[in-house]
Structure 1
Amino acid sequence: MASIFTKIINREIPAQIVAEDDNYIAFLDIMPLVKGHVLVVPKQETDYIFDLEDEVLAGLYVFAKKVAKAIDKSVKCTRVGVAVIGLEVPHVHVHLVPLNTMDDINFTRPKLKLEEEEMKKIATTIKDNL
């Protein structure tokens, strides 16, 4: 069965996509820790990050770097943090989280629930800064 991320890649379900190329896609987390929280995903559906081929893993981080730099220009933050948890969805994904404090990347905190219009505005701003 296809993961929720594969369904986003295939445009079967909507997402606020901020960047995409032939191998990777980045979109806003629908339950973000902070505004501007983005997921970066390889289009190849693989459950565990260390099962990725070396080239795919390296490409994922190069792609994530471009997105992180756009987030940094788009959202007021000290820097963009990176986390790979890998337990929530059986499809590799990297969290890019705008940070002002260590607590901003605390995954046990309650998640934000943003209005669709605000999500669109954040996504557009990140895209514009790529």
Structure 2
Amino acid sequence: MPSIFSKIVNGEIPSYKIAEDENYFAFLDINPLQEGHTLVIPKKEVDYIFDIEDDLLAGMMVFARKIAKALDKAIPSKRVGVAVLGLEVPHAHIHLIPLQSEGDINFSNPKLKFTNEEFMAIADKIKKEL
């Protein structure tokens, strides 16, 4: 059974897409820790990030860097943090989170709530920086 992320890639579930290419997909996390919290995934469904073949994993980091640089320009922050947990969804993914402090990347923090229009505006801000 395809993961929720595979369903997003296939257009079966809507998302706030930031970017995609033939191998990777980036979209806003719908339960964000910070404004602009973005997920980067390989289109190929692999559960554990360290099971991804070398070339695909390396390419995923290069793709994530492009998204992080756009995030850095679009959302005021001191840094864009990177986290890989992989426990929530059985599809490897990288969290890119704009940070003001280390506490901003604590996954125990309450998640932010945005309206559909706010999510679309955030996604547009990031896309304009790509």
TM tier relative to shorter chain: over 0.9
Q: Deviation per CA, 1:21-72: give whole Å up to 9, x if none.
A: 0000000000000000000000000000010000000000000000000000
Moved over 3 A (4+): none
- Name the residue aligned to 2:67: 67
In 2: Cα distance, 1:69 partner to 1:12 partner: 28
* 1:113 CA displacement: 1.1
**One-letter code of the match for 2:45?**
E
In 2: Cα distance, 1:76 partner to 1:116 partner: 21
Kindly indicate whether residue 35 of structure 2 is the aligned counterpart of residue 41 of structure 1: no
* 1:108 CA displacement: 0.6
* 1:98 CA displacement: 0.1
- Aligned-pair identity (%): 62
- Name the residue aligned to 2:128: 128
Q: Matched residue of 2:98: which SS?
A: strand
Structure 1: unaligned runs, 5 residues or longer? none
**One-letter code of the match for 1:126?**
I
Kindly indicate whether residue 28 of structure 2 is the aligned counterpart of residue 28 of structure 1: yes
Kindly indicate whether residue 77 of structure 2 is the aligned counterpart of residue 77 of structure 1: yes
Aligned length: 130
Q: Matched residue of 1:13: which SS?
A: coil
Length-normalised TM-score, structure 1: 0.99
Q: Matched residue of 2:80: which SS?
A: strand
Q: Matched residue of 2:18: which SS?
A: strand
In 2: Cα distance, 1:121 partner to 1:32 partner: 15
In 1: Cα distance, 2:2 partner to 2:114 partner: 26
Length-normalised TM-score, structure 2: 0.99
Structure 2: unaligned runs, 5 residues or longer? none
In 1: Cα distance, 2:125 partner to 2:86 partner: 27
**One-letter code of the match for 2:84?**
V
